[in-house]
């Protein structure tokens, strides 16, 4: 696929001014405070998997507005001590699937919580969490409730993602001081948002993050999910101003600016789903609004001939080595 963006040298300097609403911080502070009013864990049940080397639990926690959100909690079998923990978020159109589908992190020695995506399951993987909050918008998750930031699907999903970290801290066998958030594509965007909203994380691992530099992205690519927003606006022409205002509350660049955790990024330069410049916009401004004299530790891995798949297994190996250094393993 052709490159969508400028040269790598230009990308390394790309730091656009992403306009933030005046009430951005208050919006998220109030949203998360309302969610925190409820106890986070609803139910934790052992889940039989026929796997001898890991143990799994079916977890339900209270997400946005107290809605029940499902997750899989998996950890190495026979290890009684608290472990560093990876909270992982799935990609667009995916649910949590089955507990044996994602074993990289528990096999590497971490406790692992995989959050279900409310309302999105069925396109690529199964899930068990409905999105019960309806609002005007298009037929795709990226457009649900897009006319008002209070109704937007990603307000709910990002809140769920923050609450997943709270749920992890409440689970047995978790070292609450060593929690990393991890994700690819939409999952990478959620992890980035959590890094900007939860100030006490140990690490962020994000690849091809969705929802970064959104205003530019919806005009740059026709691929879903950004293309779904463009297709909605092609029909609802009068909705552009409202939609752009809503999107300004969920832009990953704004979250990245507020993040403090060490961060590991990965991007394919031929990515037509989440254009490379949008991820670089977040990386280049990561931690810049924290008031620190130097930004948090961060590194970027670039794959010049890869698209949205990025570095695949090669990149996962780099993630494992980096996270092992940052978190340590018991």
Q: Are 75 and 171 in contact (CB under 8 A)?
A: no
Catalytic residue among 185, 254, 264, 315: 185
Q: Which residues pair with 41 in a beta bridge?
A: 61
- For residue 159, give the 3-state DSSP assignment: helix
What's this model's pTM, rounded to 2 decimal places?
0.96
Q: DSSP alpha helices (H): ranges in 44-185?
A: 104-107, 153-170
- 55 catalytic? Reply is no
- 131 catalytic? Reply is no
Q: DSSP alpha helices (H): ranges in the chain?
A: 8-11, 24-36, 104-107, 153-170, 186-197, 214-220, 226-235, 240-247, 252-258, 276-284, 312-327
Q: Are 225 and 218 in contact (CB under 8 A)?
A: no
Distances (CA, A) of 224 to 7, 51, 198, 217: 24, 36, 28, 11
Using alpha carbons only, what angle is made at residue 106 by residues 102 and 109, rounded to the nearest 5 degrees?
A: 155
Work out the number of other CB atoms within 10 angstroms of the CB of residue 51. 15
Provide the b/e sequence for 25-34 (b: ≥16 CB within 10 Å): eeebeebbee
Q: Which of 143, 117, 162 is nearest to 242 (CA)?
A: 143
Tell me how far apart the alpha carbons of residues 108 and 317 are, in angstroms, rounded to a whole number.
Answer: 11
Cα 31–chain centre separation: 17
pLDDT of residue 75: 97
Tell me how far apart the alpha carbons of residues 53 and 142 are, in angstroms, rounded to a whole number.
Answer: 38
- 271 catalytic? Reply is yes
Catalytic residue among 112, 153, 264, 308: 308
Spell out the residues 6+ positions from residue 17 whose beta carbon is closer than 8 angstroms to its own. Answer: none
Work out the number of other CB atoms within 10 angstroms of the CB of residue 122. 11
pLDDT of residue 279: 97
Spell out the residues 6+ positions from residue 114 whose beta carbon is closer than 8 angstroms to its own. Answer: 71, 72, 74, 88, 90, 96, 99, 102
pLDDT of residue 1: 41
Catalytic residue among 213, 271, 277, 315: 271
What are the strands of the beta sheet with 68-76, ordered from one edge? 41-47, 54-62, 68-76, 111-115, 83-89, 174-184, 203-207, 263-268, 298-303
pLDDT along the chain (330 residues), means of 10: 74 94 98 96 96 97 97 96 97 94 96 97 83 84 97 98 98 97 98 95 98 96 97 97 98 97 97 97 94 86 96 98 88
């Amino acid at each position: 696929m052709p490159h969508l963006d400028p040269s790598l040298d230009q990308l390394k300097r790309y730091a656009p001014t992403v306009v933030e609403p005046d009430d951005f911080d208050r919006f998220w502070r109030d949203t998360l405070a309302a969610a925190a009013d409820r106890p986070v864990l609803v139910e934790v049940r052992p889940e039989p998997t026929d796997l001898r080397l890991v143990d799994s639990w079916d977890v339900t926690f209270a997400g946005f507005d107290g809605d029940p959100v499902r997750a899989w909690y998996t950890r190495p079998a026979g290890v009684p001590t608290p472990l560093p923990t990876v909270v992982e978020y799935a990609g667009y159109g995916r649910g949590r699937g089955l507990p044996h589908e994602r074993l990289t992190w528990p096999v590497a020695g971490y406790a692992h919580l995989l959050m279900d995506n409310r309302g999105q399951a069925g396109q690529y993987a199964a899930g068990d969490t409905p999105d019960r909050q309806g609002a005007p918008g298009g037929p795709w998750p990226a457009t649900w409730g897009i006319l008002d930031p209070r109704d937007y699907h990603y307000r709910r999903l990002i809140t769920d993602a923050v609450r997943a970290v709270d749920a992890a801290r409440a689970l047995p066998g978790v070292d609450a001081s060593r929690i990393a958030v991890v994700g690819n594509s939409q999952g990478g965007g959620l992890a980035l948002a959590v890094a900007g909203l939860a100030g006490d994380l140990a690490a962020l691992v994000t690849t091809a993050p969705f929802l970064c530099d959104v205003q530019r992205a919806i005009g740059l690519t026709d691929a879903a999910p950004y293309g779904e927003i463009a297709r909605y606006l092609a029909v609802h022409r009068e909705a552009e101003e409202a939609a752009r205002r809503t999107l300004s509350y969920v832009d990953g660049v704004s979250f990245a600016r507020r993040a403090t955790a060490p961060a590991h990024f990965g991007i394919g330069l031929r990515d037509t789903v989440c254009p490379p410049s949008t991820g670089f916009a977040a990386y280049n401004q990561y931690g810049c609004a924290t008031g620190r004299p130097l930004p948090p530790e961060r590194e970027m891995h670039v794959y010049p001939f890869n698209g949205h798949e990025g570095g695949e297994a090669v990149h996962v190996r780099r993630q494992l080595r980096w996270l092992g250094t940052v978190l340590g393993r018991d």
